[in-house]
A and B are shown apart, each in its own frame.
Chain A
Amino acid sequence: MSADILSIRSVSKNFPGVLALSSVSFSIREGEVHVLVGENGAGKSTLVKILCGYYKPDKGKMFYRNKPYLPETPRAAMDAGIRAVYQEFNLLSYLSVAENIFFDRLPRKGILVDKKKLHANTVDVLKRVGLDVDPGMPVELLGVAQMQLVEIAKAISSKCSMLILDEPTATLSQGEISRLFEIIKTEQQQGLTVIYISHRLKEIYEIGTRVTVLRNGELVSTNDVDKVSVPQIVSMMVGRQMGVEYPFNDAISPKSEPRLEVKNLIIAGNPNKISFELKRDEILGIFGLVGSKRTETVRALFGADIKRGGEILLDGKKLDIRSPRDAVKRGLCLLTEDRKTQGLVLDMPLASNETLAALNRVTKLGLVNKHVEHFESRRLSKGLAIKTPSVYQLARNLSGGNQQKAVLAKWLFRDAKVLIFDEPTRGIDVGAKYEIYLLLWRLLSEGKGILIVSSDLSELMGVCHRIIVFSGGQVSGEALRPDFEQERILKYAYRVS
Chain B
Amino acid sequence: MKKLFAIIMAVVLAMCLGSAALAAEKPVVGLVMKSLANEFFKTMEEGARKFAADDGTFELIPVGMNSETDIDTQISAMENFITQKVNLIVLAPADSVGLVPSVKKAVDAGILVVNFDVTLDKQALADSGLPQDFLFVGPDNEEGSYLVGKFLGDKLGKDASVIIIEGNPGADNAKQRKAGFDKAVAECGLNLLASNTAHWETEEANTVMTNLLTRFPDVKGVMCANDSMALGVVRAIEAAGKSGQIEVVGFDNIGACQELIKEGKMLATVDQFGPEMAANAIKVGFRILNGESIAGWEKTPVEVVSKENLK
Question: Does a CB–CB distance below 8 Å link A and B in the complex?
Answer: no
- A interface list, Cβ under 8 A from B: none
Interface residues of B (CB under 8 A from A): none
